[in-house]
Amino acid sequence: MTILLFIGGLIGLVAGAELLVRGASRLALSFGISPLVVGLTIVAFGTSAPEMAVSTGAVLSGQTDIAIGNVVGSNIFNVLFILGVAALITPLVVNIQLIRQEVPIMIGASLLLLALGLDGKLGFIDGAILFALLIAYTVFLIVQSRGESKAAQYQFSTEITPAVPGGWDSKLPAQLALIVAGLGLLVLGSDWLVTASTVFAKALGVSDLVIGLTIVAAGTSMPEVATSLMAAIKGERDIAVGNVVGSSTFNILGCLGLSGIVSGDLGLVMPAAILNFDIWVMIAVALACLPIFMTGREIARWEGGVFVLYYAAYVTYLILATRQHDTLGVFSMAMMSFVIPITVITLIVMLLKRGKVRDRPR
């Protein structure tokens, strides 16, 4: 029953996000809002709706570890696993705007979360700050979209089409019904997922935090997985990258912002394990995007493979640490003494080579 509840929760989250995005985008287009703005806001936020629903639901259920672990774990999963697998399918082109703007914003949001959580709690004011920044960021994107090129406008217009005149979803009642149904499925799915995850944690003898960082994080990231992998297969490689980066920023500002507000005076307690390890992994993953994205402005297949291997190593570490396995010390020493330094050195060499190529006289 618990497995069925978990699967049902995932299906509810994915279906709810799809219905919500469809209804909201149709409604927005009916009011004359441009496809570009709809893509930058409703569609981008819709893929992160499961994370928001689960985190908020977990707070209301008193499972704050799942709420925080879900966001931190999802961001690690987004970059290392989703981008890694997408790059293995095809090398991913990185838009220059991502390097100059979106990735630094993602890094800034990650560092801000660390700063706000250093006192061991994410309170109402902290949540309000994060959510206010999300609103400001959204407004900034909308204003910026007015200066987008015709190519960008066309790209979004082909991806987000208005309802067919006379179609069943062209009417206001149908669009509102889609939105309500989507929200209802998100709430129901998040409740089932949190309930099932708590049972899993107790049965496996691991903490709610580890379940949130792994199973729940991967489950709520299914919309991002589907969007990025399909974009990579169809050759829309910039969308595959932009979806992941934008979702990671929204997870911090939106999901934890709303969760902090909902928590009220009690606030969200930041587990010591998050502050001492996982949040640093999330920040390191965000920082790693810059040199990798800058080397040729693409994520090569071998870099995607490294991303996937690092995610496997991260999950392995969590499992070994939870079980206090005898091999934990050897595994940690191998990662810190060999694997990570080799990766860092490789990235530095690649950056230096790229710099020499740019400085070479033509």
Question: Which residues, other chains included, contact 74 with Cβ-Cβ below 8 Å and sequence gap of 6+?
Answer: 51, 217, 220, 221, 247, 248, 251
pLDDT single digits (tens) 67-108: 888 899 889 998 889 888 888 988 877 777 777 788 899 999
Mean pLDDT of the 205-233 span? 77
CATH no. for 2-325: 1.20.1420.30
List the one residue out of 160, 346, 344, 179 whose CA is nearest residue 239: 160
Q: What integer best gives the mean pLDDT of the chain?
A: 77
What is the pLDDT, as a whole number, of residue 357?
Answer: 44
> What is the Rg, in whole angstroms, of the alpha carbon atoms belonging to the chain?
21
Helix/strand/coil (H/E/C) assignment for every residue in 244-278 = HHHHHHHHHHHHHHHHHHHHCCCCEECCHHHHHHH
Give the model's pLDDT for residue 190. Answer: 73
pLDDT tens-digit map of 159-186 = 556 666 667 767 778 888 888 888 788 7
193-212: per-residue pLDDT in tens?
777 877 877 777 777 788 88
DSSP code at position 149: -
Integer Cα distance of 297 and 99 in angstroms? 8
27 has pLDDT over 70: yes
Percent of the chain, pLDDT > 70? Answer: 75
The pLDDT of residue 36 is: 54
Neighbours of 1 (CB within 10 A): 7
Helical axes 237-250 vs 64-77, angle rounded to 10°: 160
The answer to whether the predicted template modeling score (pTM) of the entire model surpasses 0.75 is yes
173's tokens: 């009642």
- State percent of the chain over pLDDT 90: 10
For the chain, which residues make up each domain, given as ranges? 2-325
DSSP H/E element including 122 = strand 121-122
Q: How confident is residue 130, by pLDDT bands cut at 50, 70 and 90? A: very high
CA atoms of 243 and 48, how far apart (whole Å): 10
Residue type, 160: I
DSSP three-state, residue 236:
coil
Q: How far apart are CA 199 and CA 19, in angstroms?
A: 29
Query: Is pLDDT larger for residue 236 or for residue 282?
Result: 282
pLDDT score, position 38: 64
Specify the 3-state DSSP secondary structure of 49: helix
DSSP string, 154-180: HHHHHHSPPPPTTSGGGSHHHHHHHHH
